[in-house]
Amino acid sequence: MGGVSGLIYSSLPVLVFVPVSTNVGLMPAIYAALGTAALVLVWRLIRRESLQPAVSGFMGVGISALIAYLVGESKGYFLLGIWSSLVWASVFALSVLIRRPVVGYIWGWVNNHDRGWRQVRRAVLAFDIATLTWVAVFASRFVVQHHLYDADETGLLGVARIAMGWPLTGVAAVITYFAIRTAQKALRAHSQV
């Protein structure tokens, strides 16, 4: 997921956007965020690193900047992330409700497994737990950041975006890892029966 460098690269546009917006205004902040994302892209190109994360990041910054421009307020920069969190929380929650946990399907797709895991109750439960962990991450991001958006707290939105980004993702990834291990053990035990 990019490690420490990915954390830094993804945080830089927000770290630049908020103070520039506060001190100079919306348009300079948009240019600064886009410029920062472009520099990250060039830096990765020079270092011969994978460009996909930088291109995706640049596009995300571009869309966020466009929304801020259209809304006419700096806090608009955060709308894409806020509403994306609600969408993902809803999709992941719905997948558990219909007994098709997203994490199980992602695991199966990444590892070229069939859907046989769905017949093993303990594996489904493990994937449910992992999926619900992601629901909690996405829902908490939406609730906190939407509240800050409504309160016109652009600076705190920037802090929340960074603080609720990688740290929560890291916790959810660890829980997902252990859930997948549990599911794999359940599948091995089931195949030996």
pLDDT at 67 over 90: yes
Q: In degrees to the nearest 10, what's the CA dihedral of 122, 104, 93, 4?
A: 120
pLDDT (mean) for 124-151: 97
Helix (H, G, I), strand (E, B) or coil at 73: coil
**Domain layout of the chain by residue ranges:** 1-72, 74-193
pLDDT at 5: 63
Q: pLDDT-based confidence at 1, cuts 50/70/90? A: very low
Question: What is the separation of C-alpha 85 from the centre of its chain, rounded to a whole number of angstroms?
Answer: 8
- pLDDT (average), residues 115-128: 92
- Does 112 have pLDDT greater than 50? yes
Determine which helix (DSSP H) or strand (DSSP E) holds 51, and give its type and residue range: none
Say if residue 177's pLDDT is above 60. Answer: yes
pTM, rounded to two decimals: 0.85
Task: State percent of the chain over pLDDT 70.
Answer: 96
Closest CA to 133 of 81, 106, 169: 169
pLDDT exceeds 70 at position 3: no
Tokens matching residue 105? 């399907």
- Residue ranges in 98-153 assigned as alpha helix (H): 102-110, 121-150
* DSSP H or E run through 53: helix 52-71
What tens digit of pLDDT does each residue of 83-102 get? 999 999 999 999 999 999 99
User: In this structure, are residues 117 and 127 in contact, taking their beta carbons and an 8 Å threshold?
Assistant: yes
Q: Is 156 exposed, middle or buried (0-12, 13-18, 19+ CB in 10 A)?
A: middle
Q: 92 phi and psi, to 5 degrees?
A: -65, -40
Strand (E) positions, 37-186? Answer: none
